[in-house]
Amino acid sequence: MPELPEVEVVRAGLEQHVVGRTFVGVDVLHPRAVRSHVGQDLSLLLDAALIRSARRRGKFLWLELSRKIPGTGDQWAEPTEALVVHLGMSGQMLVTEPDAVTSTHLRIRARLSGGVDLNFVDQRTFGRWELVALVDDSHGEYPAGVPASAAHIAQDPLESSFNAQAVAKDIKRRQSPIKQVLLNQEVIAGIGNIYADEALWAAGVRPRRKAAGLSGVGVERIIHAAREVMERALEAGGTSFDVLYVNVNGASGYFSRSLNVYGREGRPCVRCETPIQRVVVGGRSSHFCPECQR
């Protein structure tokens, strides 16, 4: 499952290679990849739409689309719709020369202006493309708005207008274990199981601690730790886009993360050598060091 850093790399690649291009044709090769549009032709829906920008909030990825204003020649209206890309478990966005992808897992092939294909390859077909209206961004980060289906999602720690203090206040209102609160995308976006465990280890807080029992400073320290571990992962996965090929989300494209606690049950803590323990919090595996996290 791609985490925020992987999705950010996909976004950055799309920004570089498809922004400014228009859709000139879309072939849907598997109905599940467009299952939100039953009975509708995605090819018609996307026809002639201009890709204005590639955006992300948490693990939510979308392309802002705009349409030509009829009768104006070359004037484009402000974006009112987005193509939301759900990567699912194994979705990949590949930007290639025409017909370069021959994979049997190719689900959608979009022809873009300038002679490139934007391909959606998805082995397990949990992913999909979905055209969604843009609505006001209540957080004010994105002037064109956010997809209606993402309107309930909180800001992620990598957004420029992210307010750690305000989010810490919200977190401190919660009676659930801190680990569970960190995974709640309506409180703070983009933190998955891996980065929640890593952030709590870095901040020295046990996953089962009740959020409301933590100090404001302590919660802010956790938020900063989460931002830091994700930024570090992003740097480690810093793929270059010299070639016209964005393939960052396939099995081989996952970042090799250097993890301190996640998945290290029974192995010595890298800080104090105490064996890492695993507990289940809110139905999710949680790894921590009993010595460093008190």
For the chain, what is the largest distance between any 2 Cα atoms, rounded to a whole number of angstroms? 71
What b/e readout covers 18-47, taking b as 16+ CB neighbours within 10 angstroms?
A: beebbbeebebeeeebbeebeeeebbebbe
Give yes or no: 3 in active site.
yes
Give yes or no: 2 in active site.
yes
With tokens 């955006």, the residue in question is: 55
Are 186 and 153 in contact, with CB atoms under 8 Å apart? yes
Residue of 232, 168, 170 lying closest to 205 (CA atoms): 168
Residue 171 lies near Zn ion (rule: CB under 5 A):
no
Binding mask 114-153 for Zn ion (x = CB under 5 A): ----------------------------------------
CB count in 10 Å sphere of residue 152 = 10
- Tell me how far, at minimum, the Cβ of 269 lies from Zn ion, in Å: 3
- Tell me how far, at minimum, the Cβ of 226 lies from Zn ion, in Å: 18
- Tell me how far, at minimum, the Cβ of 221 lies from Zn ion, in Å: 16
Nearer to Zn ion, 153 or 269 (CB): 269
The active-site residue, picked from 228, 231, 284, 291, is 284
Give CA separation, 189 vs 104, 154, 195, in Å: 33, 5, 12
The SS3 of residue 109 is strand
The active-site residue, picked from 3, 6, 130, 220, is 3
Residues 6+ apart with CB under 8 A from 41: none
Q: Which stretch binds Zn ion (CB under 5 A): 7-15, 244-252, 260-268, 285-293?
A: 285-293
Are 264 and 287 in contact, with CB atoms under 8 Å apart? yes
Nearer to Zn ion, 130 or 198 (CB): 198
The DSSP result for 124-136, as a single string, is: S---EEEEEEEE-
- Tell me how far, at minimum, the Cβ of 91 lies from Zn ion, in Å: 36
- Tell me how far, at minimum, the Cβ of 195 lies from Zn ion, in Å: 18
Residue nearest to Zn ion (CB): 269
The active-site residue, picked from 55, 59, 109, 206, is 59
Binding mask 237-276 for Zn ion (x = CB under 5 A): --------------------------------x-xx-x--
Total of residues contacting Zn ion (CB under 5 A): 7
Give yes or no: 284 in active site.
yes
Nearer to Zn ion, 171 or 269 (CB): 269
The burial of 212, by beta-carbon neighbours within 10 Å (0-12 exposed, 13-18 middle, 19 or more buried), is given as middle
Which stretches of the chain bind Zn ion, using CB under 5 A? 269, 271-272, 274, 289, 291-292
Q: Which residues are catalytic?
A: 2-3, 59, 284
